[in-house]
Amino acid sequence: MAYSIKKVDVWAGEIADRPGGLASTLAAIQGAGGNIEFVVARRSPDKPGTGVVFLTPIKGSKQKAAAQQAGLGTSEGLHSVRVEGPDRAGLGAKMTDALSAAGINLRGISAAALGRRAVSYFAFDSAADADNAIRILKKALK
């Protein structure tokens, strides 16, 4: 079974660190027809009372407007690649080894497996690194 490897826009923004802080942001996107596939939220340790959320996908003008209204945006400095496909032992090591061997530094990674499927989101500092990562990962996961 093949892997889907593609660039994605990850949206990010500040949220209130209180009950409902994240819920109100997600509700705004859902209200615009959004179906979020990936979300990471955490407190901002250097800014008490606030947190940060990263999520994707945001599709179409209605969802984009709702995301912007909720204080979210895309970052020119965050370039993300989504890898989805069959889970197997050593998958994470294989992908990160291939990127390392190509001299590509990771800004971050979030990954999960559910049943027989795995999905990983890689973050890079430049569009060139993301483009190279796609090429490297496609070759490594043949």
The answer to whether the beta carbons of residues 56 and 37 sit under 8 Å apart is yes
Question: What pLDDT score does 77 carry?
Answer: 87
Q: Does residue 1 surpass a pLDDT of 70? A: no
The answer on pLDDT for 98 being more than 90 is: yes
Q: pLDDT at position 91, please? A: 98
Spatial neighbors of 79 by CB under 8 A, at least 6 apart, are 7, 123, 124, 125, 126, 127, 129, 130
pLDDT at 117 over 70: yes
Mean pLDDT, rounded, for 2-7: 97
Residues 44-70, mean pLDDT to the nearest whole number = 96
Enumerate domains of the chain plus CATH numbers: 9-74 (3.30.70.260), 77-140 (3.30.70.260)
Averaged over 52-68, what is the pLDDT?
Answer: 97
Phi/psi zone of residue 88: left (φ > 0), alpha (ψ -120 to 50 degrees), beta? beta
Model confidence over 31-43: pLDDT tens digits? 999 999 999 999 9
pTM: 0.90
Q: Which residues pair with 38 in a beta bridge?
A: 56
C-alpha angle with apex 103: 99 to 105, nearest 5 degrees? Answer: 70
Q: What is the mean pLDDT of the chain?
A: 96
d(CA 27, CA 68): 13
